[in-house]
Amino acid sequence: MGRIVGIDLGTTNSVIGVLEAGRPQVIANAEGSRTTPSVVGYTKDSELLVGQLARRQLVLSPRNTFSNLKRFVGRVWDELEENSLSVPYTVRANTQGNVRVTCPVTEREYAPEELVSCIIRKLVDDAETYLGEKVDGAIITVPAYFNDSQRQSTRDAARLAGINVERILNEPTAAALAYGFDRSSTRRVLVFDLGGGTFDVSLMRISNGVFDVKATSGDTQLGGNDFDQRIVDWLAEQFKKEHGLDLRRDRQALQRMNEAAEKAKQELSGVATTPISLPFIATGNDGPLHIETTLERSIFENLCPDLLDRLLVPVKSALRDSGWQPDQIDDVVLVGGGTRMPMVKQLVRTLVPNPPCQSVNPDEVVAIGAAVQAGILSGELRDLLLNDVTPLSLGLETVGGLMKVLIPRNTPIPVRQSDVFSTSEANQASVEINVWQGERQLAQDNKSLGKFRLSGIPPAPRGIPQVQVAFDIDANGLLEVSATDRTTGRKQSVNIKGGSNLNEDEIQKLLNEAKLKAEEDRRKRVSIDKRNNALTLVAQAERRLRDAALELGPYGAERQQRAVEVSIRDVQDLLAENDLHELELSVASLQEALFGLNRRLSSERKIDSNPLQGIKNTFGSIKDELFSDDYWDDDPWDDPNRPNMDRRNMGRRDLDPWNDDFYR
């Protein structure tokens, strides 16, 4: 069986963790970073890019690069707020009213779950490379205030990535697991989670390895990106006032402002003012136009008072549901990059008197907690117990369009609740069960999760038949609804999936398409890897040739240098012809020739490293040359025009060769 990992699937960045030797740790990605940007894109050649590679082309190809996808997962078009649509790429509704993302370069529309699955697959591939074994399952975290359809859609994304979801875990709960992992004392903890696109708050009691969630609340349409948007609007309005152009209508300009706003927000967490410079942002009648301005922290905070007010509402709601007073909170755990903003920290201090805990990394704590949960499920950690709650009330629609709540919010899960209902008309043969989730009194004001029909009810006056409806929520927070006619025993049950952006047929179609294209994708990957490896080897060989020429001279290792040069030309020719089969053989020949050159260089360096040996070899070669027969055969002293020289006297110091006595 493969390993189980923990995945923090974030709006801006995603992180993957694993339990190693009983301790949770974060796995770095292929690029060496501990966080992976939650960005998916396609190049002009329709090549898929995920993570940092995709983020690099955000400005140059904004219509084919997709970020902030988490806000669209599991939501229909009518549920989206206007600020969610402030993205450089095209988002539209399909014929069923579901959200779809348009990619011009591939001429396709994608469901958000399909693109999110690419991020999950990237994280898992990096984990498998690090672990050296297959990953079969994952704990995936979601905002605590995600409804059932959003949780189902997250599971669908993992299915498309080929990963089995062992548990859907609330992000604040995961953060608390990481915080209280090695603490044995009893603590009351408030987790304040402000991510890139969502906000959650949870209150829980931690005691001797038992994590008991008391209340949770949040806002799935509020996050750090909304604070960035205020800076973008401020920049755009200033530019429009000065030049009469609205940069928000230009996709590339909008993306550049988004990046500048995010950077300015981060810098204002440590300094009072920060410069914003965007040269050549647009073109006017007199030439190129630029943005050169300075943003002060006080101005930024004045742009966001309503966002801070929206943060207050869920915190007060969670405190009210838990029955705790603010002074009863022992610790405050800040999660998410948005909590680094000074105004957010100050807001938390006004709510809870105790200073926030700084012992956890806000960017990694959720993934660490997911890895801890993976250890609990796999049996590696046996002394921890997690009791979570359902974030929203669940019920069904009754006569008059009212919502009858069966499971109130903040009910501990897993849970099963049932109630008995009857018909509203005489001789009614069937009833329709319409399941809703939310806190409003009227059903239509809440989120519809799905509906099904129980048929075969015997004819009877109104109010006589008894239909028992039961709601079951598992540990993942996923719902199953069943209805039973007590008279006939006829039963109908359904796993609620109606709110997902993808129905089962669409999921199976995408899975089958992935299987059919798996071999083609593998061949493309192998082809690209072969070419890249060949180009890398050629560059290395050219560098070694230059090193050999400097160390040995142009003819110091002529045979080995010549072999490398010939092999380089062969590889370059085959790269131009795209002959991958012959390329593999030529690469092997180049490797062998390069090995011979490296061996020659190594042997020469050993000689140079021993100066006495070098002198000995030098004099030895001179001696061999002086006293060889070939040398004396060509001796200039044997010239018949010169007097004969006595070779026996060559070694005598007392004889001067230019003295007349030296000659016979």
| pTM of the predicted model as reported, rounded to 2 decimal places | 0.73
Q: What is the Cα–Cα distance from 473 to 151, expressed in whole angstroms?
A: 12
CA distances from 345 to 309, 339, 340, 645 (A): 14, 6, 7, 102
- What is the pLDDT at residue 520? 66
CATH for 224-306 (3.40.50.1980, 3.90.640.10, 3.40.50.1220, 3.40.50.300): 3.90.640.10
DSSP E strand stretches across 318-411: 331-335, 385-389, 394-397, 403-407
Task: Please give the CATH superfamily to which domain 394-502 belongs.
Answer: Substrate Binding Domain Of DNAk; Chain A, domain 1 (2.60.34.10)
pLDDT along the chain (664 residues), means of 10: 86 92 90 93 91 90 92 85 81 87 92 93 93 91 86 90 90 88 82 90 87 88 91 94 90 91 93 93 88 94 93 91 90 90 91 83 91 87 78 83 86 86 81 83 81 80 84 79 82 58 64 64 73 84 81 71 84 81 83 82 65 47 45 46 45 45 42
Q: What is the Cα–Cα distance from 141 to 16, expressed in whole angstroms?
A: 11
Asked if residues 351 and 26 have their Cβ atoms less than 8 Å apart, the reply is: no
- What is the pLDDT at residue 101? 92
- What is the pLDDT at residue 653? 42
In the chain, which residues fall in CATH 3.90.640.10?
224-306
- What count of residues does the chain have? 664
Main-chain phi, psi angles of 112, to 5 degrees:
-55, -35
Largest separation between any pair of C-alpha atoms in the chain: 152
Tell whether the torsion through CA atoms of 181, 183, 186 and 190 is positive or negative: negative
**Burial zone of 331 (CB within 10 Å; 0-12 exposed, 13-18 middle, 19+ buried):** buried
Q: What is the Cα–Cα distance from 277 to 280, expressed in whole angstroms?
A: 10
What string of DSSP letters covers 510-545? HHHHHHHHHHHHHHHHHHHHHHHHHHHHHHHHHHHH
HEC string for 57-124: CCCCCHHHEECCHHHHCCCEHHHCCHHHHCCCCEEEECCCCEEEEEECCCCEEECHHHHHHHHHHHHH
Q: Which residues are catalytic?
A: 8, 70, 171, 193
Residues 112-144: pLDDT tens digits? 999 999 999 999 999 999 999 999 899 999 998
- What is the pLDDT at residue 608? 59
In the chain, which residues fall in CATH 3.30.420.40?
3-223+307-388
Residue 168 bridge partners (DSSP): 140
In the chain, which residues fall in CATH 1.20.1270?
505-608
Query: And the tokens for 525?
Result: 């990957």
- What is the pLDDT at residue 183? 73
**Burial zone of 619 (CB within 10 Å; 0-12 exposed, 13-18 middle, 19+ buried):** exposed
Angle at 336 between CA 333 and CA 340, to 5 degrees: 80
In the chain, which residues fall in CATH 2.60.34.10?
394-502
Q: Which amino acid is at 153?
A: S
Residues 575-599: pLDDT tens digits? 888 777 788 888 888 888 888 878 8
Domain 505-608 in CATH 3.40.50? The answer is no
- What is the pLDDT at residue 555? 64
Architecture in CATH of 3-223+307-388: 2-Layer Sandwich (3.30)
